[in-house]
């Protein structure tokens, strides 16, 4: 059996968590990451018949029964993850009835998966319906994106268009727009449902006064979405206090999207 600490997915997840911490986006235990694993690959590293313990998921996740997830632990600090993955991360399987997590590895100090497990699993379920190659859900508290939600109204069209107009790259990276939820209690079943609903045709959802969710087939994709939003939010905050004399017009945005083959969200540029 190979050493799980050499598993490239685990290394990639630990690396991105460390990077997000260093970017200042994930203070203390803020943020969480989960990754849908490939069973055949995982078998090379762990005995999948050996369940360490189980804990309730408190909702019906049977759509992903038997699937394996690597996820950050509840209350665990991003800062500590790379140095001690076995305490700060865990790998669990969703039980056959969909109601429990069966821990296969990790959460060494008796912990369990992130307080946002509802939202993570619901986003995985939703994205798998529209993208069979989906794997990654990242939740983070990026500074400038979060600041923007204090200033703009709770309107996802306005939020998206402000960012599209900051820099040419935005409509290339997220032509489908960004979902935006007003402030809601985090960690709840309800915020999970609301987030997953927005993920039907989007890969980014901002939680007002809290943070962001990004999803993707790879870490590069999910992280790339979030870093593009955060970069644009940073630039937006830098110029919004000045008189803007140049901007990307709606016509320009349509042209950029067309050039790169993206379809801008319906109703945003019409």
Does 29 participate in binding ligand 2HA (rule CB under 6 A)?
A: yes
Task: Confirm or reject binding of residue 30 to ligand 2HA (CB under 6 A).
Answer: yes
Q: What backbone torsions phi and psi does residue 179 show, to the nearest 5 degrees?
A: -75, 150
Neighbouring CB atoms inside 10 A of 263's CB total 9
H-helix or E-strand containing 206?
Answer: strand 204-207
Q: Return d(Cα 65, Cα 87) in angstroms, integer.
A: 24
Segment near ligand 2HA (CB under 6 A), from 28-36, 81-89, 93-101, 128-136? 28-36
- DSSP for 2-54, please give it: --GGG-HHHHHHHHHHHHHHHTT---TT--EEEEEEPHHHHHTTS-TT---EE
Choice from 32, 88, 95, 228 touching ligand 2HA (CB under 6 A): 32
Q: Considering beta carbons, is residue 29 or 160 the nearer one to ligand 2HA?
A: 29
204: helix, strand or coil: strand
Q: Is 28 or 258 the residue whose CB approaches ligand 2HA more closely?
A: 28
Q: Which of 16, 57, 111, 116 is close enough to bind ligand 2HA by CB under 6 A?
A: 116
CB of 235 to ligand 2HA, least distance (A): 25
Q: Of 27-35, 80-88, 123-131, 244-252, which part binds ligand 2HA (CB under 6 A)?
A: 27-35
Q: Give least dist CB 32 to Zn ion, A.
A: 7
Of the pair 175, 211, the CB lying nearest Zn ion is at 211
| Gap between the Cα atoms of 113 and 122, Å rounded | 14
Residue number with the smallest Cβ distance to Zn ion = 211
Active site residue 162: no
Distance in angstroms (rounded) separating the CA atoms of residues 98 and 212: 26
Nearest CA among 120, 141, 113, 109 for reference residue 21: 141
Residues that bind ligand 2HA (CB under 6 A): 29-32, 115-116, 139, 186
Residues with catalytic annotation? 116
């Amino acid at each position: 059996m190979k050493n799980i600490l050499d598993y490239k997915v685990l290394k990639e997840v630990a690396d991105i968590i460390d990077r997000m911490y260093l970017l200042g986006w994930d203070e203390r235990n803020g943020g969480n990451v989960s990754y849908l694993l490939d069973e055949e690959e995982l078998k090379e590293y762990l005995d999948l018949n050996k369940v360490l313990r189980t804990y309730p998921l408190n909702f019906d996740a049977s759509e992903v029964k038997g699937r394996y997830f690597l996820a950050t632990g509840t209350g665990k600090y991003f800062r500590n993850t790379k140095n001690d993955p076995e305490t700060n991360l865990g790998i669990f399987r969703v039980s056959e009835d969909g109601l429990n997590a069966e821990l296969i590895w990790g959460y060494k100090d008796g912990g369990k998966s992130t307080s946002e497990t509802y939202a993570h699993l619901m986003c995985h379920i939703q994205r798998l319906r529209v993208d069979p190659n989906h794997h990654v859900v990242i939740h983070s508290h990026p500074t400038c994106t979060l600041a923007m939600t204090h200033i703009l109204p709770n309107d996802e069209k306005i939020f998206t268009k402000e960012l599209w107009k900051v820099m040419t790259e935005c409509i290339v990276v997220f032509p489908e727009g960004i979902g935006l939820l007003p402030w809601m209690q985090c960690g709840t079943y309800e915020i999970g449902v609301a987030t997953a609903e927005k993920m039907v045709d989007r890969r980014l959802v901002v939680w007002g006064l809290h943070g962001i969710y990004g999803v993707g087939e790879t870490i590069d994709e999910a992280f790339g979405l979030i870093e593009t939003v955060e970069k644009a939010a940073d630039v937006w905050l830098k110029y919004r206090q000045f008189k803007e004399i140049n901007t990307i017009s709606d016509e320009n945005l349509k042209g950029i999207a067309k050039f790169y083959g993206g379809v801008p969200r319906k109703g945003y540029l019409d």
